[in-house]
Amino acid sequence: MKKFLLVFLVVIMPIALSAQTLSVVRGVVKSDETGEPVAGATVRIAEKGIVSETDADGAFVLEVPSTDKATVVVRATGYLALRQMVNAGGDVNLGVLELKPDLYEEMREDMIISLSEAEYDSEDGIISSTQNISGLLTSGGDIFSSTAGYVFGPMRFRVRGYRGEYQKTYINGIRVDDAERGFFTYSQIGGLNDMVRNKDAVMGIDAATFSFGALGGATNINARASAIRKGLKVSQVGSNRTYTTRTMATYATGLMENGWAFAASASYRWADEGYVQGTFYDAWGISLAAEKRFNDRHSLSLTLLGSPTHRGQQSGSTQEAYDLTPRQTFFRTQSNRFGNNYYNANWGYQNGKVRNAKQVKSFTPMAILSHVWNINEESKLTTSVGYKYQMDGRTSLNWYKAADPRPDYYRYLPNYHRTIDNEQAAEMREYMWMYDETYRQINWDRLYQTNYLANERGMSGRYMVENRRNDQSVVTLTSVLNYKFTDRWKLDAGVEAQSTKGMHYKLVDDLLGANYWVDIDQYGERDNPGDANFMQNDLNNPNRKVWVGDRFGYDYNIYVNSANLWATATYSLRNADIYFAGSGTYSNFWREGNMKNGRASGDIVMGSSFNGKVYDESWYKTVNGSYGVSPTQHFATYGVKAGGNYRITGRHIIALNVAHGTNAPLATNAYFSPRVKANLIPDLTPEMYVSADLTYYFRTPVVNGRITVYNTSFWNSSELSSFYNDEYNTYINFAMYGYNKRHTGAELGLEVKVSPYVTLSAVGAYGQNIYTSNPNATISMENGLQPDTEETIYVKGFHMDGAPEIAASLGVHYFHPTYWFVDLNVNYFGNTYMDFNPLRRTESAIAGLDPADPEQASLINRIREQEVFVGGLDGITVDLSIGKSIRINYKYYLNINLSATNILNNTRLKTGGYEQSRFSTTHERYDRETYLDRFPAKYFYAYGTTLYLNVGFRF
């Protein structure tokens, strides 16, 4: 009570009383391992929010209003945080503060990176925005953030359920998120762990110094040469995850006497076959950085990064396919037991060699030039310009009037034949699947032989491999001012301009022995055979013959431009910090079609009617046509947020953040069939959000952590769901728009130091991310088989798919002063919802069924319900890591760490799944049930036991 009164009195005192007694706290931060000073470490007084950085000699000076109890917290990249209590009644010299290296940080990051690369690309086309792992790359911060990354990562956990488009990632101040899709693909900087280790990150809507921020947090990677740890580091990894070996070498000079700093890093990741059969890996990571400090005020840096990657992808399949596939032993030999949740339908043998039909060939070199002007000790202006050129290709089989080459096509599995009561056919296929590997994998030889036969008859090829390219050329310019007006007032403000040209087309990758391929849409041909134009993909070049390297099928560009201005003002009180932030953005996008598609051959016009309905011109825009430049769509959006933290005592802090704003629709979600035409969803009103989070932090020498509750509501959101329908051999796009959603939940992070060497941790997240209204959807078939329609999708109450809503981890961490580390984590994941087929949630899907009849009611339920992986015992995994750091000859350091994920080999943990798009909406009851029986959902499972052994040398 006495303390509260004291605090209360202090707060009441006019805050303008700046003439308080100040104590000077100084010290030197050094590495416990090497004895070298640690430059650039942040030193803060926890209760006061006073922050400083150590200089090149590791020294720091802080001025603190005199108090008898203060906690000094020292943080630096690659080290464990250090907390020390001080009595700041008078001037204090803390002497040398020694930081212990965080060997786990590297291992955790490697894990996150390799997980982000185990992206699955569901058959249904679009690169899904499950590539959001970069949002978990927060640097330490608190036990929740650091655990969420590498422990929850394998399960594709999303912080607060936000998809990748709600996070922002920057490198040296330049935003690297994809402007069309909204999210950053971390694999673009894969294998560059050492260059991207230094990060400034905020979780959630907390204020950031480098950006207005985003709902899901923001990360600014400092990849300047001076930020890379000095010295030469070489490491070798052996693993059985996505790659089996990784060699990495990084050399950095650190900031030298002459003001220059250089850094270079290169790595090579390789696997003949990863954890999943048929997935090979062949990727480089290259980075070069140079920096020159002209004087105390100005420095200029140039960083180049790129990760050319070539790898084979895994597929999702039905449970039936998994159950019938023989298991693989840990040593990759075939077991005589069945049930393999990692069956991969994408590969087959060709001349005895494994060949994967779905490969990623990707390279996104980036160059960032950044200038820092240190206006004074506490203020700076950072101006950066960045250029990025993305070359991303994904291969896939394509076929024309030929038998489906995919081994898990529904007719090749027994289930379909059971639905038509043909037990004999079912048994034959079951036997073939179980015992003949060439039956359950792609038969490349057959594809070639079919093409050779077509050659004999002078016909075009029946099978080929195409490469779907998504390229981008991006220029970004930013300038960020961090200005400290007084001890109390601080301003962070910035301006950003970005211009993106997205190029989308596909190339003939391999003709598989055929003489040529003809560029037409085969189902367009079948449906309108009399109309030679309908089937054309390029009316200006009808029936064009194409060969390897030619563009065909579709060819369009999406241009996205944006200009943004933001500012955050932070005011520090004695026991509180409060901030206000605002942001305004102007953005636009348009499509440019380079091919005149036969299914949208009219001139591009703006219209105000769609499917016969007339809309008010002011808010409704639509476009028809495919060739040429489409009208530009403009958006003006804003964001405001406010918040702060209040230090009840030095040990108990409450923080609150509230935010409100609008987000322009993503170009990806707005053009619902961009490969064919420039048509837009009828409603392009920007999405609006309101978000709030409340956190309670507690920090005592023994226990520290936080509890957070949050809620974010969205109005008028949009998303594009694209499903491949193998009945019509086309993509069906469901552009859902005009719906509301809500993310609510709580997070807990707790660390208890039970003994000098042992810490216990408990981390948990519980969320509910739901659609709170029914979206409208524009349903469009790319081959034009049916005209576009508008339907309401009844999914109110459904959950966002693909990430566990419940994630928890209990950990025991042992750290011995002789640099032994042992970590044990017991984890739980549950409530992962499956992606749904919008067609099954339309009115017509259940039309004619009578809910009063119990049998029909149960069919309605089966059609409508969203599948969920609840968790239970199958949601438990255990991870174990051991590490040791050895000093050799007082100069060299050897770090060894071995980590085993999922040591109980739980192979029944679903990380996601999707419903097949084939569904009959005829009124006949038998048809619908049969469709559900014939086309069950496809699933993805988390890997079983995987090992990761990292041996690193530091010189």
Partner 1 sequence: MKKMRYILTAAAVVLMLPSCENYTAPEPNFPVYDWEANMTIAELRSKHEITNPSQRPQQVTEDWIIKGVITGDDESGNIYKSLYIQDETGGINLAIDQVNMYNIMPVGQTVFVKLKGLYFGDYRGGYQIGAESDGEMGRWDWSWETFKDPTTGEYPYKHYYPSGVPDMSQVPAPTEITSGNDLTMDKTCTLVTLKNVTFDNGGTATWAVKEENTNQNLKFEDGTSMIVRTSGYSNFYADTIPMGTGDITGILSIYGSTYQLLIRSREDIGEFR
Which residues contact partner 1 (rule: CB under 8 A)?
232, 249, 251, 262, 264, 266, 282, 284, 286, 288, 306, 308, 310, 350-351, 353, 355, 361, 363, 365, 401-403, 412, 425, 428-429, 432, 435-436, 438-439, 444-445, 448-450, 452-454, 456-457, 462, 510, 512-513, 525-526, 528-530
Closest CB to partner 1 among residues 171, 290: 290
CB of 252 to partner 1, least distance (A): 11
Please state, in angstroms and rounded to a whole number, the distance separating the CA atoms of residues 624 and 621: 10
Our CB check for partner 1 shows the closer of 358 and 490 to be: 358
Angle at 410 between CA 393 and CA 425, to 5 degrees: 145
Q: Are 769 and 743 in contact (CB under 8 A)?
A: yes
Least distance in Å: CB of 786 to partner 1? Answer: 13
Contact 523, 731 (CB under 8 A): no
Residue from 510, 524, 537 nearest 596 by CA: 537
User: d(Cα 202, Cα 207) in Å, to the nearest integer?
Assistant: 7
Pick from 845, 740, 736, 739: nearest CA to 780: 736
Retrieve residue 576's tokens: 């509180």
Closest to partner 1 by CB, 70 vs 464, is 464
Which residues in 323-461 belong to E strands, given as ranges?
326-328, 334-338, 347-350, 353-356, 359-363, 366-376, 379-399, 442-443
Nearer to partner 1, 126 or 288 (CB): 288
Residue 225 in 3-state DSSP?
helix
Separation between Cα atoms, residue 608 and residue 945, nearest integer Å: 57
**Smallest distance from the beta carbon of 266 to partner 1, in angstroms?**
6
Nearest-approach distance from CB 653 to partner 1, in angstroms = 45
User: What is the smallest separation between the CB atom of 250 and partner 1, expressed in angstroms?
Assistant: 9
CA atoms within 13 A on the CB side of 945: 12
Alpha-carbon distance 32 to 837, whole Å? 56
Residue closer to partner 1 (CB basis): 66 or 455: 455
Dihedral pair phi/psi, residue 927, rounded to 5°: -60, -45
Of 111, 95, 104, 194, whose CA–CA distance to 151 is shortest?
Answer: 111
Query: What radius of gyration do the chain's Cα atoms show?
Result: 29
- Residue 81 or 403 having the CB closest to partner 1: 403
Q: How far is the CB of 453 from partner 1 (least distance, A)?
A: 7
* CB of residue 359 to partner 1, shortest distance in Å: 8
Tokens matching residue 33: 């391992």
Q: Across-strand partners of 121?
A: none
Q: Which is nearer to partner 1, 264 or 770 (CB)?
A: 264
Coil vs helix vs strand at 419: helix
> For partner 1, which is the closer residue by CB, 152 or 416?
416
What is the strand order of the sheet 347-350 is part of?
A: 353-356, 347-350, 442-443
User: 2 or 457, CB closer to partner 1?
Assistant: 457
**Complex with partner 1: residue 288 or 822, whichever CB lies closer:** 288
Number of H helices, E strands in the chain: 13, 53
Strand pairing category for 703-725 and 59-65:
unpaired
**Residue 721 pairs with which residues in a beta bridge?**
734
Q: What is the closest distance, in whole angstroms, from the C-beta atom of residue 655 to partner 1 in the complex?
A: 44
- Three-state DSSP state, 918: coil
Cβ neighbours of residue 444 closer than 8 Å, sequence gap 6 or more: 348, 349, 350, 355, 512
Dist CA 190 CA 196 (whole Å): 10
Tokens coding 668: 């990806």
CB of 462 to partner 1, least distance (A): 6
* Residues 877, 804: Cα–Cα separation, whole Å: 14
What is the nearest approach in angstroms of partner 1 to the Cβ of residue 529?
Answer: 4
Neighbour tally for 217: CB within 10 Å: 26
How near is the Cβ of 300 to partner 1 at its closest, in Å? Answer: 19
Where is 449: in which H helix or E strand? helix 444-456
Distance CA 216, CA 163 (A): 8
Give me the least distance between CB of 240 and partner 1, in Å please.
23
Which three-class secondary structure state does DSSP give residue 84? strand
Whichever of 452 and 696 has its CB closer to partner 1, that residue is 452
What is the rounded CA–CA span in Å between residue 266 and residue 195?
Answer: 10
In the bound complex, what is the minimum distance in angstroms from residue 427's beta carbon to partner 1?
11
Shortest CB 454 distance to partner 1, Å? 7
For 530, the token pair is 């009399």
Decide whether 461 or 775 has the Cβ nearer to partner 1: 461
Closer by beta carbon to partner 1, 337 or else 457: 457
How many CA atoms does the CB half-sphere of 332 hold within 13 Å?
A: 11
Residue 292 or 361 with smaller CB distance to partner 1: 361
Dig out the tokens for 293 from the structure.
Answer: 């400090």
What's the rounded Cα separation, in Å, for the pair 106 and 248? Answer: 12
Q: What is the DSSP string of 87-114?
A: EETS-EEEEEEEEPB-HHHHHHHHHHHH
Cβ neighbours of 352 (radius 10 Å): 5
Q: Which is nearer to partner 1, 343 or 347 (CB)?
A: 347
Residue nearer to partner 1 on the CB measure, 232 or 870: 232
**How far apart are CB 432 and partner 1 at their closest, in Å?**
6
CA-to-CA distance for 868 and 785, rounded, in angstroms?
33
- Beta bridge partners of residue 620, listed in sequence order: 683
Closest to partner 1 by CB, 449 vs 856, is 449
Which CB atom, from 14 or from 530, has the smaller least distance to partner 1?
530
